[in-house]
Amino acid sequence: MKRFILFLIITAGIGVGIFVLTVQEEENAPEQQVQPQTNESGDTASFELSEAMIQNIMKDALGTRFNAETAIYKVANLDHKGGPELIIGAATGNTASIQVLTIKNGEGEYERIGKIEYQELIREAPEVKELADIDGNGQDEIIMSLMYGGAASVAEGILNVDFAAKAMHWVQLRDERGELQDAIFLLANTVSHHNRFHIQDVDKDGIKEITEIFAETLYNEKTDSFDVTNCEASVYEWDGILFVFDAALSEQTLRNLGKDCAM
């Protein structure tokens, strides 16, 4: 990930390193309908998840360390089975927390499936940007806005929830040097460079790839515009365990980007 390393060097004065520590809105608000859930007897039951219930669950799950009133949540059904899950993002000082809970019944009982904390120059609570099944196993991964970075940069990351192990972790990438990295991207959009990532099926095999693009630009006085001087693309393909750099797909993507490095 040459462009990612280059960008980290450029933005070294903006933030501190990532330290990932994996650890285990009102009474009258409208209620949210959730998918049917199978109870312990094997019968299918349905219940409604009210705003008041969500707030109570968040207060309990976050404890006194994080403020539930400033936390951001999303109700989801990640495994497309029973559900629902509650994805909570919270922040205090320079520490952010992301956790996933399974709501067990209409009384608000829950089980914590996974929790991750990280430390950075946090602007506000992390928030779910998108849910997508990127490895083709029928379960959605969580694409999060991590809410740190500089004036012209934002951080995003991809999380996987392991229901069997009751754990959550960053999706893993193996780069062109064979080194493992968490799927965390510091994305910039300045006059001199920008980088971004996409989740899409590049080779049309039914399984999505992670594509990271980095572009450098230089001002052209003749045209009064910024021309792309360097364009790089890295495509990571799922190998059954993690996402691995694929040189052929990366070259194909780079050709498709063209001279403007645009996808």
The 10s digit of each residue's pLDDT in 100-122 is 999 999 899 999 999 999 999 99
Please, what is the average pLDDT of the chain?
82
Residue 241 has pLDDT above 90, yes or no: yes
pLDDT of amino acid 259? 81
Residue 204 has pLDDT above 80, yes or no: yes
> Which of 30-34, 69-73, 147-151, 170-174 comes out lowest in average pLDDT?
30-34
Q: Which of 1-5, 25-29, 157-161 has the highest mean pLDDT?
A: 157-161
Residue 26 has pLDDT above 60, yes or no: no
Nearest to 193 by CA among 223, 235, 150, 237: 150
Predicted confidence band of residue 20 (pLDDT cuts 50, 70, 90): very low
Give all strands (DSSP E) within 13-84, no chain letters.
19-22, 32-33, 37-38, 44-45, 48-49, 72-76
pLDDT of amino acid 7? 44
Nearest to 183 by CA among 88, 100, 116, 258: 116
Residue 213 has pLDDT above 70, yes or no: yes
Query: What percent of the chain shows pLDDT beyond 90?
Result: 60
β-bridge pairing 243-245 and 172-174: parallel
Instruction: Please compute the mean of the pLDDT values over residues 31-35 and round it to a whole number.
Output: 41
Instruction: Please compute the mean of the pLDDT values over residues 132-139 and round it to a whole number.
Output: 92
pLDDT of amino acid 85? 95
- In Å, what is the CA distance from 134 to each residue of 131, 164, 211? 9, 19, 12
Q: Are 251 and 176 contacting, i.e. CB atoms less than 8 angstroms apart?
A: no
Alpha helix positions (H), the chain? 2-10, 51-62, 247-257
pLDDT of amino acid 56? 96
Phi/psi at 239 (nearest 5 deg)? Answer: -110, 10
Q: Are 168 and 118 contacting, i.e. CB atoms less than 8 angstroms apart?
A: no
Q: What whole-number distance in Å separates Cα of residue 80 and Cα of residue 76?
A: 9
- In Å, what is the CA distance from 251 to each residue of 29, 86, 121, 204, 231? 51, 39, 35, 16, 11
Phi/psi at 3 (nearest 5 deg)? Answer: -70, -30
Write out the two tokens for 98.
């992301």
Q: What whole-number distance in Å separates Cα of residue 183 and Cα of residue 245?
A: 12
pLDDT of amino acid 46? 57
Instruction: Please compute the mean of the pLDDT values over residues 164-181 and round it to a whole number.
Output: 96
Instruction: Please compute the mean of the pLDDT values over residues 177-193 and round it to a whole number.
Output: 87
pLDDT of amino acid 148? 93
Kindly give, in sequence order, each residue whose CB lies less than 8 Å from that of residue 55, ignoring residues fewer than 6 positions away: 25, 26, 68
